[in-house]
């Protein structure tokens, strides 16, 4: 029997189970990936196969190139890293359980061989092999993150409380929810159970985040501590801050947070990759990621804090994405116990509930699993579309699940509750009852054999051994978001020239060069230093601020950017050189009209005292901007799409993947719809042909029965006639006529029976012909679907497009002389004292 399950847009999660016998059938259970946009929940006691089902679904997502964020409170999901295409005993040897081998009384090598054979045979029974494992590893990048630990890839959570995207800030309810979740989680780390309305700690921190984020300001934990001591506001509500929360009490809260920051064990929360959801879902090259966040090593408070921050970050990222009907990303949590309870409101509940309510519109699916069905908010799961129910531990668990299932089905369940009760009670290991709102009735299934080796929960030592090679390969190679973040974090620093070094070394706080007197036409501005030292001096530079318009109809580009360029001025033969030009991010409103008192001035070149020089330099900068500041876009010729200005390659590839997946799903739906009527016509014809066979078979059977009866009657008639022949001529004549009539009837009925048999054969040939037509149509459909899948599976090739502005599209807003503060560092080297 052919098993064609490798199709884009569907997950191979098992085989259907006969509801009567409870036995596995040969009918594959293929689950449409789009159905997960309405979310799912897996419920089953320990040993039911719940984790295996979850891992199987995650493997299918990776096979379909759908990125995944998997939250792993128990440590089981790390087994997704244990995929061995060659299936050799040596692959399994480092990961087999030594205690199990000891209990069996065999050495590790023998046990590893047994496990390799077990996995090879198990995969084969489910029509899988090492080649499918190889494709799994090729289709997605697998990574383990360990927040608060360096065993896996560390995650920087407390380094910054970055302002959420503007889309979330503009959504008042979502913005308040984000602040409330962040503050509640942070205070939970301090052991403070804070009510958002009554707790002054919660109110103060919420107000600080609200004030900073609305201005687009990011905060790190140090800045938050400073803001607690010196808040950027003087009132909380209508009351004075000092009346509500005196400074000495705020200092106590600041000290608690500072103790958290200073704790050596908390350094792991400060280092590592930023919690960038886009980067967690895709590599810089656009390859989908399956990011596993292992949190088994954390305390309950730390787990709650991290899950809250992670889900809030997913919400922030989600709101920056366009809507889609396809599955864009999957968020999976292996054990949701304690994070989504029915009565209490832990910090994690609010963002989780929001995702369940709103994520569908953005193509983000939530899949939650638990072995504690009583401790689950079923009202919050009211809109969950897929329920996978496994073996349950108690009657109370079963009653609660049946009640929730009744609510989820909303009266549309074609199966009576008592039958559902019986079905759930009879579930065995790896057998689940699936209720999917996109299907007509619940289905029993047995989960397939997973490709990942199920070695059990990993320790931090095992995670370190697994991830060290991956971390080593990343060392020193910043790409994508990491590279851009590193560049954007660097301060604007001009290389000090010999003149600078001399002037700075001779500068004093008082005395030194005086401010030059210039013509009135030359405007002067100053940048205040962010630090003061024993030696500091103002150095002259030319500042040009321009509005640059980029336009290209072919690339659908209309973009206006503000660009500031600064060029230091040297007292020498070439006072102004474009070799010293650099772009800076300097808001014009930060320029001061007066210098800091007592700071000396460096020498000003003679050309800088002439107003006409600034016009000439400004024009030179226009030509420099045209050459040095093009907009670079990425082009996908297959999709006929261009990236947006400032969009990283990773972001563009993510967008292409979303567009491609949605286009693929729409195309597949149209193809299936086009064939649906043809299949329906053939199915109707087949049904009529089968009914005809059944009818004609019945008629043929009756005809032959009638023929047999007629023949028997005729035979009886002949016998009777022989006995009556002695009764005279009249009797003999009458008997002869009857016998002739009966024989003729028998002959006619035999002829009709023969014709009936022939009509049965003809009807059977019609059935076979229609079945052949259906088979041909299925092959035709599969070929069309395969063409779409082959096209969708092709690697996206991007080309770089450079668009330069026209000279007349570069308009100066300000060309002026600016004085920059310079000083020296601890080793005596010149450093800029401005940002």
Q: What is the DSSP string of 170-215?
A: HSHHHHHHHHHHHHHHHHHHTT----TTT-HHHHHHHHHHHHHHHT
Which element (helix H / strand E) includes 273?
Answer: strand 273-274
Per residue in 472-518, pLDDT (tens digit) is 876 544 333 333 333 333 334 455 555 555 555 554 333 347 888 89
Q: Is the pLDDT of residue 457 over 70?
A: yes
C-beta separation of 570 from 552 below 8 A: no
- Mean per-residue pLDDT, 773-797: 77
- Specify the pLDDT at position 1: 40
- Specify the pLDDT at position 713: 58
H/E/C letters for each residue in 121-156? HHHHHCCCCHHHHHHHHHHCEEEEECCCCCCCECEE
- What is the average pLDDT score of the chain? 83
C-beta separation of 314 from 321 below 8 A: no
- Specify the pLDDT at position 619: 94
CA–CA dist 537, 501 (Å, integer): 11
- Specify the pLDDT at position 510: 33
C-beta separation of 46 from 69 below 8 A: no
CA–CA dist 181, 750 (Å, integer): 87
- Mean per-residue pLDDT, 554-577: 90
State what percent of residues in the chain have pLDDT above 70.
84
pTM of the model: 0.74
DSSP bridge pairs for 32: 10
| Residue 736's pLDDT band (cuts 50, 70, 90) | low
Name the residue among 58, 299, 270 with its Cα closest to residue 159. 270
Q: What are the residues whose beta carbons fall under 8 Å from the beta carbon of 453, sequence distance 6 or more?
A: 79, 82, 83, 84, 92, 95, 115, 119
């Amino acid at each position: 029997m052919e098993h064609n399950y490798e199709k884009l847009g569907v997950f191979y999660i098992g085989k259907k189970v006969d509801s009567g016998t409870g036995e596995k059938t040969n009918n594959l259970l293929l689950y449409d990936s789009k159905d997960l946009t309405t979310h799912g929940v897996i419920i089953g006691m320990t040993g039911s196969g719940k984790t295996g089902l979850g891992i199987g679904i995650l493997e299918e997502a990776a096979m379909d190139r759908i990125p995944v964020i998997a939250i792993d409170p128990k440590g089981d999901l790390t087994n997704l890293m244990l995929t061995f295409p060659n299936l050799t005993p040596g692959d399994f040897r480092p990961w087999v359980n030594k205690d199990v081998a000891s209990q069996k009384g065999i050495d590790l090598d023998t046990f590893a061989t047994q496990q390799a054979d077990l996995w090879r045979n198990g995969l084969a029974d489910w029509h899988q092999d090492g080649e499918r494992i190889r494709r799994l590893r090729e289709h997605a990048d697998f990574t383990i993150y360990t927040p608060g630990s360096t065993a896996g890839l560390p995650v920087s959570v407390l380094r910054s409380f970055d302002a959420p995207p503007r889309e979330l800030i503009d959504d008042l309810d979502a913005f308040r929810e984000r602040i409330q979740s962040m503050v509640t989680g942070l205070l939970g780390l301090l052991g403070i159970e804070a009510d958002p309305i009554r707790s002054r700690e919660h109110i103060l921190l919420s107000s600080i985040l609200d004030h900073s984020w609305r201005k687009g300001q990011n905060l790190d934990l140090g800045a938050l501590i400073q803001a607690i001591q010196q808040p950027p506001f003087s009132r909380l509500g209508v009351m004075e801050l000092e009346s509500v929360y005196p400074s000495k009490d705020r200092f106590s809260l600041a000290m608690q947070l500072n103790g958290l920051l200073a704790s050596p064990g908390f350094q792991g929360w400060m280092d590592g990759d930023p919690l960038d959801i886009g980067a967690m879902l895709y590599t810089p090259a656009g390859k989908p990621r399956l990011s596993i966040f292992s949190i088994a090593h954390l305390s309950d408070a730390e787990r709650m804090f991290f899950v809250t921050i992670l889900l809030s970050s997913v919400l922030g990222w989600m709101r920056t994405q366009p809507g889609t009907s396809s599955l864009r990303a999957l968020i999976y949590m292996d054990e949701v116990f304690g994070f989504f309870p029915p009565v209490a409101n832990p910090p994690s509940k609010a963002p989780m509930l929001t995702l369940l309510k709103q994520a569908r519109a953005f193509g983000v699916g939530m899949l939650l699993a638990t072995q504690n069905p009583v401790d689950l908010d079923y009202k919050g799961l009211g809109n969950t579309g897929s329920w996978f129910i496994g073996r349950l531990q108690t009657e109370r668990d079963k009653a609660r699940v049946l009640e929730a299932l009744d609510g989820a089905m909303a009266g549309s369940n074609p199966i009576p509750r008592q039958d559902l009760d019986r079905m759930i009670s009879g579930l065995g290991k790896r057998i689940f009852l699936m209720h999917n709102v996109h299907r007509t009735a619940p289905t029993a299934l047995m989960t397939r054999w997973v490709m990942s080796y199920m070695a059990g929960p990993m320790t931090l030592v095992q995670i370190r051994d697994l991830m060290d090679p991956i971390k080593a390969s990343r060392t020193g190679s910043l790409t994508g978001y990491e590279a851009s973040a590193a560049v954007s974090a660097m301060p604007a620093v001009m290389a000090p020239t010999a003149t600078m070094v001399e002037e700075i070394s001779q500068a004093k706080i008082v005395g030194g060069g005086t401010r030059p007197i210039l013509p009135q036409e030359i405007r002067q501005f100053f940048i205040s230093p962010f630090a003061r030292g024993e030696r500091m001096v103002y150095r002259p530079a030319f500042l040009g601020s321009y509005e640059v318009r980029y336009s290209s109809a072919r690339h659908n580009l209309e973009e206006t950017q503000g660009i500031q360029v600064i060029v230091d001025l040297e007292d020498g033969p070439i006072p102004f050189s474009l070799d010293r030009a650099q772009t800076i991010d300097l808001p014009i409103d930060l320029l001061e009209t007066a210098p800091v008192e007592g700071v000396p001035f460096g020498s000003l070149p003679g050309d800088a005292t002439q107003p006409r020089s600034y016009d000439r330099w400004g024009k030179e900068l226009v030509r420099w901007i045209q050459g040095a500041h093009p907009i670079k876009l990425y082009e996908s010729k297959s999709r006929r799409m261009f990236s947006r200005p400032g969009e990283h390659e990773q972001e563009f590839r993510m967008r292409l993947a979303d567009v491609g997946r949605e286009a693929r799903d729409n195309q597949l739906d149209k193809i299936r719809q086009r064939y649906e009527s043809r299949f329906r016509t053939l199915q109707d014809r087949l049904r009529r042909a089968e009914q005809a066979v059944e009818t004609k078979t019945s008629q043929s059977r009756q005809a032959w029965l009638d023929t047999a009866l007629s023949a028997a009657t005729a035979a009886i008639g002949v016998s009777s006639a022989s006995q009556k022949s002695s009764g005279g001529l009249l009797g003999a004549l009458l008997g002869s006529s009857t016998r002739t009539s009966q024989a003729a009837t028998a002959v006619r009925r035999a002829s009709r029976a023969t014709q009936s048999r022939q009509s049965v054969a003809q009807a059977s040939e019609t059935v076979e012909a229609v079945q052949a037509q259906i088979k041909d149509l299925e092959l035709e459909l599969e070929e069309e679907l395969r063409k779409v899948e082959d096209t969708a599976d092709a690697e996206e090739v991007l080309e770089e497009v450079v668009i330069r502005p026209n000279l007349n599209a570069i308009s100066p807003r300000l060309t002026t002389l600016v004085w920059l503060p310079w000083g020296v560092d601890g080793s005596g080297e010149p450093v800029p004292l401005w940002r």
